[in-house]
Structure 1
Amino acid sequence: MTDEEIAAMTPQERQELILRLAPRPAGLPSRRTLERMRKWRAVLMLVCAAALIPWTVYLAETLPKHYVARNWVATWVGFDILLLAMLILTGVAGWKRKQLVFPAAFASGVLLVCDAWFDIMTSQRGTDLTQALLSAALVELPLAFILIAGPLRLLHYIAIRHGMIPPNSPLWRAPIRLPARHLPNHQPHHP
């Protein structure tokens, strides 16, 4: 096929061509197993979210306003070691152009948001709080935005490039599609 013929194809036709040329992933579970896993994971997340609502209300009502924490140094140093490991993993995966950069960058961004939140919420009023606010506003939150938005933009580009979504469609509307021809027990439709 020429570039002109490919350019003239609809996004649906391009996706079908990509799927015809792509090898079937090895070790892919059956369609039934994939669907069962998807449903159970979705149910698990909704049950956890429902359970978290009364738990959060309970904590808001029962936690003391002041608390002396055990292992304070180990908690913060351990958290920073985890953040450091995730940032290194993100940097190495990005440098080597590995797909692991997507979840690593996203997780690093979330950890930076958590770091900013806990720094601000646990700081004493005055210089300590000012330092936490400046660190959050100038370093942690901008870097978190880059680490979360960058991979999302790349995923969006990849979804468009592979014909999974139309060019003007937002990523949050992109479905997760497993082409039937790549799944076991698929019977092709013949006209």
Structure 2
Amino acid sequence: MACESAGVSLSDEEIAELSVAERRELIRRLLPESPLGPQRRTLQRLRKWRLLLLVLCVVVLVPWTVYLAITLPSRYVARHWVATWVGFDILLMVMLTATAIAGWRRRQLVFPTAFASGVLLICDAWFDVMTSQPGGDLLQAVLSALIIELPLAIVFIAGPLRLMRIVATRHGLVEPGTRMWRVPIPLPELWADRAVPKR
């Protein structure tokens, strides 16, 4: 079998002899420009406004959190207590089911669903511990958090992140061993002109 592009033909043997960097460059050059996706200017504008929105959220949350820390009562009788926890557990069950299905079918949807499941498990552990009564309830909540919820959260968050890095390496976006936070979003027009260094 041979790879042909613009009158150039590479045999399987020639491809096998390419270095990792040469293969990455070949993959980048073979990626088509997508006519269906947004234009570069639109992507840059969306990125700018979303980043601005995130910064604004953080800035607003700082004084809001301080305000809550000062004004909230130490004890409060919550309404809809059962519906709150049952609803939360239903949401967690839906996300875990979606993660299981996406993982079983090997779909990229597993990345956000697994990450969301891990975050929900961390929230579950936090609120279980913080709302438990001293004594048996608190001990059970702490043990459940340490033995079940937090280890599962680590698996659900770290596993897909590691898999994303493997996919990025396999598709020539990054060098092997690149840290997850250095893996770029795979938009050819944004990264084709520069290689991502390994760090």
TM-score normalized with structure 2 length = 0.85
Residue of structure 1 equivalent to 2:53? 44
Distance 1:96 1:89, change over 3 A: same
Between the aligned partners of 1:150 and 1:156, the Cα distance in structure 2 is 10
Between the aligned partners of 2:187 and 2:21, the Cα distance in structure 1 is 14
Task: Report whether the alignment pairs 1:161 with 2:170.
Answer: yes
C-alpha contact 2:33 2:188 (8 A) present in aligned 1: no
C-alpha contact 1:14 1:162 (8 A) present in aligned 2: no
Deviations 1:148-167, CA, capped at 9 Å, x for gaps = 01100100101111111111
Task: Report whether the alignment pairs 1:87 with 2:87.
Answer: no
Judge which range, 165-174 or 17-26, deviates more.
17-26
Distance 1:53 1:91, change over 3 A: same
2:75 to 44, 53, 66: 66
Percent of paired sites with the same residue: 62
Report the residue type matching 2:163 in the other structure: L
Between the aligned partners of 2:36 and 2:47, the Cα distance in structure 1 is 17
TM-score normalized with structure 1 length = 0.88
Residue of structure 2 equivalent to 1:131? 140
What is the Cα deviation at residue 22 of structure 1? 3.8
Between the aligned partners of 2:56 and 2:13, the Cα distance in structure 1 is 50
Paired residues, what number?
Answer: 182
1:172 to 175, 181, 198: 181
Deviations 1:126-166, CA, capped at 9 Å, x for gaps = 00001101111111111111100110010010111111111
Between the aligned partners of 2:113 and 2:25, the Cα distance in structure 1 is 30
Gaps of 5+ in 1: 182-191
Deviations 1:6-48, CA, capped at 9 Å, x for gaps = 3443444323422444444452011100111011111110110
Judge which range, 19-28 or 142-151, deviates more.
19-28
List, as ranges, runs of 4+ consecutive aligned residues in structure 1 with deviation greater than 6 Å.
none
Report the residue type matching 2:63 in the other structure: P
